[in-house]
Structure 1
């Protein structure tokens, strides 16, 4: 990063601090938490359950900021690392540029498709609950909880049943190198783009598709401009709540334990929320538009996509080295433990 870019970043962070009316060094009983989604979406549900527990079990209060109120995903992460925000919720899709190993969740067909198995994996996984916190700590972050939001669903300008159908299509991906590698393997042209620009780019055909959990496709109205839904069963959208490490370490042991309990409570309540959410969201989409098509790939069709997954795994190794290899080995052991 150039000196100019560094100064520009510091200026932006300072402006946000001024706008919120406090300094990065301030310590207050009102804590601040930012996430990446809209009112009522999964991250918002988690944040409000987290807030509920904290306010019911301490003298502290929590102020929640939703998508766009303090900027995009990269902005709220910078603000958390700078100590302006005490808590942030960010998916590995964006954290992957900061913590390369977090991109593990974007290796296609690594995660199972059964929701209960996925939930049990997040509860029990050594990779998630013991190995990942160490990686986040190196970036000044205290990882509180990783949790699933929903199965990833692709949308496109026409139905897709095989990789050949994606040839020449620009598919929006998060700013995540491994996700780009996945869509290259699938035959598409991956196009990283901030969330705020996605709807317009689909509407004007600058993009021909994207991927997200079905509730987000409904909430963001993406089906209006990208009406063909394709269930490829290639992955789950995962996210994580975390705290500024210096802030967390400066708390009393009682407050630290209370925050961890709040994260556990929010996880359990969010799990209740996502059960059946995909089905309800799809019903709303289909009731809202006659243009929507739903393609559920057969096992034979999935096999054509799945055959391309090993090259993405190799890319993950190239990006992360020995640490990534060890993490993926543990990840697979953890998955085996909950699927057998």
Structure 2
């Protein structure tokens, strides 16, 4: 779809929301994913809480991928312009908020997925000046981070070592840091639109893929790949973002209601992604004979060593504010690690 047509659709949605606002305030919520995804289930739970807490004075209109269009830049433009006041933004968001690529760094966060969600949503990180200003300087407000499960590799051959990944044309989101990461692993990363990825894998235009389990199942990617590899290098993180003018125009009570809802959603979001990914993995196993590989600590350590220098690449890309955000995050991870009896498997070292 051309950008012009996408924005026409967004404008029409905006007019629908304006018409509805005579009866209730409508919060339009843009998703990067389709129905049946973690983002959609999260949005449904968020909608239920907001509408209940507001006694029906606020309705949440969920706009999944395909409803608002198919170009992520159009979604982010609509968010910055206020036509869609709340939205998810993930790997593609790096073109709008370069510092957001912090969420794409590999082998930084703990292996415990709930612990990751709690650290990312802690006031120490989420409300830090470095993280807030990275978004606010672009007319946006970071509200929450929503981990959607470990990013899992697929390919048409087993991958246990960086040598196995050498030259692999693996699809990554349009994100400079992700390209740098997979180049460090020895792969040849390429970018293909999400809606075109299935056919690209089927036709061999891409040789590998990186998604949470639920997305591999939801989009059928596992049908056209032979091997699924769990390296536990990073979770897929959806950033929940608001238009700054819209957010600041909310009443104090509405802002408090939103913030209390987001705190509740940390656990709910974790429960959603855990259930989705566990159930979808069973579906994949039932419906295919894909070879599932879990890398052991020795195998992960080789990828971890290659990923560590990419932190400097991130800082060089985005500057001092990004470095400050990374330093805060590493400090929170280290403090969490020191309070746990777990090993440092997968953590910042």
TM-score (norm 2): 0.88
1:19 aligns with 2:12: yes
Pick one of 267, 284, 306 that aligns with 1:308.
306
Aligned runs of 1:90-239 on 2, under 5 Å? 90-91=89-90, 93-124=91-122, 126-130=124-128, 131-239=130-238
Following the alignment from structure 2 to structure 1, what is the Cα–Cα distance between the partners of residues 316 and 14? Answer: 44
Distance (whole Å) between structure 1 residues aligned to residue 275 and residue 83 of structure 2: 36
Match of 1:252 in 2: 251
Q: 1:117–1:339: 8 Å Cα contact kept in structure 2?
A: no
* Counterpart position of 2:346: none
In the alignment, is the contact (CA less than 8 A) between 1:152 and 1:236 conserved in 2? yes
Quote the residue 2:47 is aligned against: 51
Moved more, 130-139 or 237-246: 130-139
Q: Answer whether contact 2:35 2:64 (CA < 8 A) is retained.
A: yes
Stretch deviating more after TM superposition (77-86 or 267-276): 267-276
CA RMSD between the two structures:
2.1
- SS, match of residue 36 in structure 1: coil
- Number of the residue aligned with 2:347: none
State the TM-score, normalized to the length of structure 1. Answer: 0.90
Query: Once the 2 structures are TM-superposed, how far is the Cα of residue 116 of structure 1 from its aligned partner?
Result: 3.2
Alpha-carbon separation, structure 2, partners of 1:217 and 1:17: 28
In terms of mean alpha carbon deviation, does 176-185 or 114-123 score higher? 114-123
Displacement of 1:21? 5.8
Equivalent pairs counted in the alignment come to 330
1:84 counterpart SS class: coil
- Specify the SS of the correspondent of 1:259: helix
Gaps of 5+ in 2: 339-349
Please state whether the residue corresponding to 1:31 is helix, strand or coil. Answer: strand
Contact 1:24 1:83 in 2 (8 A): no
Report the equivalent of 2:344. Answer: none
* Alpha-carbon displacement from aligned partner over 1:200-247 (angstroms, at most 9, x marks no partner): 110100000011111111111110012310111211111121221111
How many angstroms does 1:179 deviate by? 0.3
Once the two structures are TM-superposed, the CA of residue 308 in structure 1 deviates from its matched residue by 0.8
Q: Is the Cα contact below 8 Å between 1:47 and 1:266 reproduced in 2?
A: no
> Do structure 1's residue 33 and structure 2's residue 29 form an aligned pair?
yes
Cα distance in 2 for residues equivalent to 1:17 and 1:65? 10
Q: How far did residue 194 of structure 1 move? A: 1.8
Are 1:143 and 1:240, in contact at CA under 8 Å, matched by a contact in 2?
yes
Shift of 1:25: 8.7
- Distance in 2, Cα, partners of 1:197 & 1:14: 21
Q: Deviations over 1:128-154 (max 9, x none)?
A: 332422211111112211121101110
2:326 paired residue among 300, 309, 328: 328
Between the aligned partners of 2:14 and 2:272, the Cα distance in structure 1 is 34
Residue matched to 1:286: 285
* Cα distance in 1 for residues equivalent to 2:101 and 2:50: 30
